[in-house]
Amino acid sequence: MNARLSNQMLSMKDVTQMTCLSRSSIYQKITRNQFPKQVKLGARAVGWIRDEVIDWLNHQIKISRLGQEL
């Protein structure tokens, strides 16, 4: 895979749309180490690594399909 694509960054809007989680839920999960941590991109800008968010989503799907609690 192209290294440039594997480090693609997502905005909060992208992350909320992909996960169907609210902004506050995402930050709560980050605090509990249950969601990938954001990367500081500038003084007032953060982003999430796309592959980490996709891995998290795939893990949630796997857990759901196995019938286990989150």
Residue 2: pLDDT over 70 = no
Angle, helices 12-19/50-66, rounded to nearest 10 degrees: 20
CATH number at residue 7: 1.10.1660
pLDDT at 66: 87
Handedness of CA 57, 15, 24, 45 (dihedral sign): positive
Distance CA 5, CA 30 (A): 23
Residue type (1 letter), 7 = N
Containing structural domain, residue 58: 3-66
> What is the number of structural domains in the chain?
1
pLDDT digits (tens, 9 = 90+) for 45-68: 999 999 999 999 999 999 999 875
Q: What is the pTM of this model?
A: 0.84
